[in-house]
Structure 1
Amino acid sequence: MGDSTPNKELLRRVAQRLGSQPFVTQVNPFPSHKPATVEVVFDETAYPDQVSRVYVDLEVERSGNFYIHYVEQWDGHQKECRWDRHENPHNDRDHYHPLHDASTKDAVDRAYPADFGAVVGEVLAEIQSRWGETFDEV
């Protein structure tokens, strides 16, 4: 299983890098209600008016396990997905829980890079490609 201790040093570096991106409005490292998480809030102006908040929670452990949870808060509901690396009974260690509800039953196996920074880069590319898609869902 490995060390499940949060890798806060790595998360701080990722938070600093993401905080300089023009599409990020706020970075919240280790909020009290999620002390192992860096929350990254995106500029909601890239989304339809029905979307009030968009963020991603990043967690990474010293073992290399990670959990990246993307959330769009729409009027009256939310859409979410997750990129995960952890042992589990439902999929390979590397897997993805797709939009719109990040359900376990719909999870698909993935192969992520070993480097967490590279994983974050892939996730950001997927999130940015989502921007145009949201307008089709209004």
Structure 2
Amino acid sequence: MTRSYDTAKKEAVFIALPLLVLFLIKMLNNELMSFLKLSDFSLATSIMYGQLLAKTLDVPDKNKKRDRFSTYQVYIFVASILSMAMYIGFQLIPDINFNFYIAQIVTFLVGIMFYIPLSTLMSDLSKE
């Protein structure tokens, strides 16, 4: 069985699209540094992994290997919650070290790379 990642790739594009639009606007406005200090990367990661967690709920029990599947659900949940905590921290805490902004961008990019195969897997497992 060949696996098609097309649906997950489209989902990832639409998750990243608002960030790409903001990037374009900030570049045109000559404000690249303010783009790097957006907290939206954490919010996008949280939304992305929240959607992935929701997909896990549609997988029929017969397609789950109990322990391994629930472990993946926990990983997905933790990634979503940590990203949301980062987003909230960026909103509430003044003067955050610039390295944390870079860390959230790296987390977002790595998150997209994991999202595509995981989303495809959840879609495949959801099929009866």
Task: Report if TM-score (shorter chain) is over 0.5.
Answer: no
TM range (shorter): 0.3 to 0.5
User: Larger % of strand: which?
Assistant: 1
User: Larger % of helix: which?
Assistant: 2
Larger RCO: Structure 1 or Structure 2 (Cα < 8 Å, ≥ 6 residues apart)? 2
TM-score, normalized by length of structure 1?
0.31
TM-score, normalized by length of structure 2?
0.33
